[in-house]
């Protein structure tokens, strides 16, 4: 089965605006065919807690040890299996792609995976990885407002300075699937969402889906 909407990973250090960006993207994206709720935000951290996809809770760090296999098993049926090839590379597949897309229902892809890490997902699931970045001083203030402990603020601040999430993305997915976006100023979220929406339209047009 071929997915008719791309699966997008929105990742970054805690405090970079992943959930805000993901939520706005899902609410603003409107496909040309009028499909309602074409994108579906999955807050993976909330999913882990609500479904019990963890092995234990680390009180010192206020974190859960995630059962990655359980998370993947839960998400697999929602991913749409495989992405269609661009028509300029496989024009002979156009008719079959359109037939496959019809009636996909729950398996049509369009997942927006919102989490602070990205290397969990198989490469075949992912069409775009958005890594949000933020100045470390701004990030520190955001995490303070969230009530993070000093230890967690320092850990996340150092991770942002060192570009840990971006490095993880680069080691897990092709360079052409990764985009690094600033998420710092008041208008950055809206600008980033508009850029991602334009990318989705281009992805679907390349595959004869719009």
Q: What is each CA distance from 116 to 3, 19, 48, 136, 177, in whole angstroms?
A: 25, 10, 13, 16, 17
Q: What is the pLDDT of residue 71?
A: 96
* Total count of domains within the chain: 1
41 phi and psi angles, rounded to 5 deg? -75, 130
Q: What is the pLDDT of residue 91?
A: 52
* 71-73-74-79 Cα dihedral, nearest 10 degrees: 110
Please check if 52 is assigned to a binding site: no
Q: What is the pLDDT of residue 105?
A: 42
Please check if 18 is assigned to a binding site: yes
Q: Is residue 153 part of a domain?
A: yes
Q: What is the pLDDT of residue 1?
A: 64
In this prediction the pTM is 0.88
Q: Is residue 114 part of a domain?
A: yes
CATH number of the domain that 129 lies in? 3.40.50.300
pLDDT in tens, the chain (210 residues): 678 899 999 999 999 999 999 999 999 998 877 777 899 999 999 999 999 999 998 887 778 899 999 999 999 999 987 777 887 654 545 545 454 444 444 447 999 999 999 999 999 999 999 999 999 999 999 999 999 999 999 999 999 999 999 999 999 999 999 999 999 998 999 999 999 999 999 999 998 888
Q: Is residue 84 part of a domain?
A: yes
Q: Is residue 186 part of a domain?
A: yes
Q: Is residue 54 part of a domain?
A: yes
Q: Is residue 210 part of a domain?
A: no
Q: Is residue 3 part of a domain?
A: no
Q: Exposed, middle or buried by CB within 10 Å (0-12, 13-18, 19+), for 155?
A: middle
Please check if 27 is assigned to a binding site: no
Other residues' Cβ atoms within 10 Å of the Cβ of residue 190: 12
Distance, CA of 18 to CA of 203 (rounded, Å): 22
Please check if 20 is assigned to a binding site: yes
Q: What residue numbers bound the domain in which 163 lies? A: 8-204
Please check if 12 is assigned to a binding site: no
Q: Is residue 148 part of a domain?
A: yes
- The full 3-state SS of the chain, as one line of letters, equals CECCECCEEEEECCCCCHHHHHHHHHHHCCCCCCCCCCCEEEEHHHHHHHHCCEEEEECCCCEEEECHHHHHHHHHHHCCCECCCCCCCCHHHHHHHHHHHCCCHHHCECEEEECCCCCCCCHHHCCEEEEEECCHHHHHHHHHHCCCCHHHHHHHHHHHHHCHHHHHHHHHCCHHHEEEEECCCCCHHHHHHHHHHHHHHHHHHHCCCC
């Amino acid at each position: 089965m071929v997915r008719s909407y791309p699966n997008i990973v929105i990742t970054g250090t805690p405090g970079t605006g992943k959930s805000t960006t993901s939520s706005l993207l899902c609410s603003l994206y409107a496909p040309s065919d009028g499909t309602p709720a074409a994108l579906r935000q999955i807050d993976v951290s909330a999913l882990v807690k609500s479904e019990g996809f963890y092995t234990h809770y680390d009180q010192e760090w206020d974190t859960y040890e995630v059962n990655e296999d359980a998370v993947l098993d839960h998400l697999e049926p929602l991913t749409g299996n495989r992405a269609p090839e661009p028509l300029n590379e496989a024009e002979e597949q156009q008719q079959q792609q359109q037939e496959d897309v019809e009636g996909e229902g729950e398996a049509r892809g369009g997942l927006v995976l919102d989490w602070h890490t990205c290397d969990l997902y198989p490469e075949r699931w992912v069409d775009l990885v958005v890594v949000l970045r933020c100045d470390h001083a701004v990030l520190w203030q955001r995490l303070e407002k969230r009530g993070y402990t000093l230890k967690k603020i320092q850990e996340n601040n150092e991770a942002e300075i060192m570009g840990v999430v971006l490095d993880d993305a680069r080691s897990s997915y092709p360079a052409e699937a990764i985009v690094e976006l600033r998420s710092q100023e008041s208008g950055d979220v809206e600008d980033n969402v508009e850029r991602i929406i334009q990318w989705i339209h281009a992805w679907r047009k390349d595959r004869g889906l719009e």
